[in-house]
């Protein structure tokens, strides 16, 4: 077959175009640090990258959920700590008041402090974090310890009635298929779940204690009987705090696992998409050398034609 000058020129230009294309591909990889710049470069790598990014997005959302759980649990734990200290102070005052040497003025002072501690406990029951009430279950916009004065139509007595506390758990998904209860059941701390042996709720016990302190003729034995009730209320609060602590430990374990999953997913995504820079630089230099050699060889092969001498 006869090889013409045009065939030589076309072959040289085609090969040079391929070299430029290869150099362009390696230049893109060198500039972006990625194996591909568009899905058509490698559909398999592109599809795997989408899956890995989706996994990282899910992990990121679970980590944000963990942050919300932290807010609920840590704020609740701090509130229960304050509630426990308030009840311990109530116990100290009850022991002090049980001494028959206390006069009416001393008992009146103790009764007032107990009432203030009861008010403090109500404030704790209305603890908020980020505008959400922590001890009212899923009804986070309603203060659980709201109170109103009502008059009994039969006896004519006026008393305080507290709204019932919502006990629905606040459940937050912290990993795929894993939900953690973020809140503390307020009914078990401030409501019907915190009762003594006589069935009195926490605030009923404190209210009755203050009333007996003001009642003339109340003896040491009567006031001492409240110590058992106070201990039962304190133990209930401590039990709820222990349950919260167990959930906090599990939260920490889930957080550690999410951190490990994030590291693994990021590494796999990097292995899938990131270019091997050492290899890219080597290939780029190789293509540059090939292109220069091809251009030099082409200049020697394509000799001047008759037309060059006719000018």
Q: Could you tell me the residue ranges of all domains in the chain? A: 50-268
Q: What are phi and psi of 99, to 5 degrees?
A: -80, 120
Q: 76 with 244: CB under 8 angstroms?
A: yes
pLDDT score at 26: 72
Residue 226, Cβ neighbours under 10 Å: how many? 23
- The pLDDT, as a whole number, for residue 151 is 57
The length of the chain in residues reads 311
pLDDT band at 272 (very low <50, low <70, confident <90, very high): confident
Please say if the pLDDT value at position 166 is more than 80: yes
Residue 46 makes CB contacts below 8 A (sequence gap 6+) with 36, 39
CB 146 within 8 A of CB 133: no
Residue 108: CA count within 13 A, CB half-sphere: 4
Ranges 66-75, 155-164, 266-275, most confident:
66-75
C-alpha 165/C-alpha 128 separation (Å) is 15
Higher per-residue confidence, 282 vs 213: 213
* 61-83 average pLDDT score: 96
pLDDT greater at residue 71 or residue 223: 71
CA separation for the pair 54, 72 (Å, rounded): 28
pLDDT band at residue 128 using 50, 70 and 90 as cut-offs: very high
Give the mean pLDDT of 230-240: 96
3-state secondary structure of 154: coil
DSSP category for residue 183: S
DSSP 38: S
Name 200's Cβ contacts closer than 8 Å, sequence gap at least 6. Answer: 208, 229
Q: Looking at the chain, list the stretches that DSSP marks H as alpha helix, in order from N- to C-terminal side.
A: 5-32, 43-97, 104-125, 186-189, 202-214, 220-273, 277-301, 306-310
Instruction: Give the global pTM.
Output: 0.77
Q: Please provide the average confidence, as pLDDT, over all residues in the chain.
A: 84
DSSP-derived 3-state class of residue 217:
coil
Residue 270 or residue 177, greater confidence:
177
Q: Is pLDDT above 80 for 270?
A: yes
* Predicted pLDDT at 23: 73
Q: CA 262 → CA 50, 275, 295, distances in Å?
A: 15, 21, 49
pLDDT of res. 70? 95
pLDDT over threshold 60, residue 195? yes
Instruction: Report residue 310's pLDDT band, with 50, 70 and 90 as the boundaries.
Output: low
pLDDT at residue 275 in the model: 77
Answer yes or no: is pLDDT of 306 > 80. Answer: no
Q: Is 258:35 a contact under the CB 8 Å cutoff?
A: no
Quote the percentage of the chain above a pLDDT of 70.
86
| Continuous segment of H or E residues that includes residue 159 | strand 158-162
Return d(Cα 258, Cα 228) in angstroms, integer: 45
**Reported confidence tier of residue 231, pLDDT bands at 50, 70, 90:** very high
pLDDT value of position 4: 62
Average pLDDT over residues 15-25: 73
Instruction: For helices 104-125 and 202-214, give the axis angle rounded to 10 degrees.
Output: 160
Q: Quick count: other Cβ atoms within 10 Å of Cβ 171?
A: 12
Rounded Cα gap, residues 236 and 249, in angstroms: 20
Q: What's the topology of domain 50-268? A: f41 fragment of flagellin, N-terminal domain (1.20.1330)
- As a whole number, mean pLDDT of residues 58-72 equals 95
pLDDT band at 262; cut points 50, 70, 90: very high
Mean pLDDT score, 79-105: 89
């Amino acid at each position: 077959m006869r090889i013409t000058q045009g065939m030589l020129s076309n072959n040289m230009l085609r090969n040079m175009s391929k070299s430029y294309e290869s150099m362009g591909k390696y230049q893109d990889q060198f500039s972006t640090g990625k194996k591909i710049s568009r899905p058509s470069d490698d559909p398999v790598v592109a599809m795997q990258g989408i899956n890995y990014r989706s996994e990282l997005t899910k992990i990121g959302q679970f980590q944000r959920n963990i942050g919300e759980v932290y807010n609920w649990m840590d704020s609740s734990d701090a509130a229960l700590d304050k509630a426990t200290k308030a009840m311990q102070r109530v116990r100290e005052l009850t022991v002090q008041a049980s001494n028959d040497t206390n006069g009416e003025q001393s008992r009146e002072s103790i009764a007032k402090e107990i009432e203030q501690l009861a008010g403090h406990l109500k404030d704790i029951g209305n603890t908020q974090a980020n505008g959400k009430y922590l001890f009212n279950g899923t009804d986070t916009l309603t203060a659980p310890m709201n109170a109103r004065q009502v008059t009994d139509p039969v006896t004519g007595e006026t008393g305080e009635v507290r709204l019932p506390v919502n006990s629905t758990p606040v459940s937050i998904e912290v990993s795929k298929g894993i939900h953690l209860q973020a809140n503390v059941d307020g009914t078990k701390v401030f409501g019907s779940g915190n009762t003594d042996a006589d069935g009195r709720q926490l605030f009923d016990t404190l209210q009755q204690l203050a009333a007996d302190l003001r009642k003339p003729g109340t003896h040491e034995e009567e006031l001492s009987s409240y110590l058992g009730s106070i201990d039962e209320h304190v133990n209930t609060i401590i039990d709820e705090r222990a349950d919260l602590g167990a959930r906090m430990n599990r939260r920490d374990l889930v957080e550690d696992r999410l951190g490990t999953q994030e590291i693994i997913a990021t590494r796999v995504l990097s292995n899938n998409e990131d270019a091997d820079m050492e290899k890219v630089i080597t290939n780029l230099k190789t293509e540059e050398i090939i292109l220069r050699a091809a251009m030099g060889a082409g200049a020697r092969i394509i000799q001047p034609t008759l037309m060059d001498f006719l000018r």
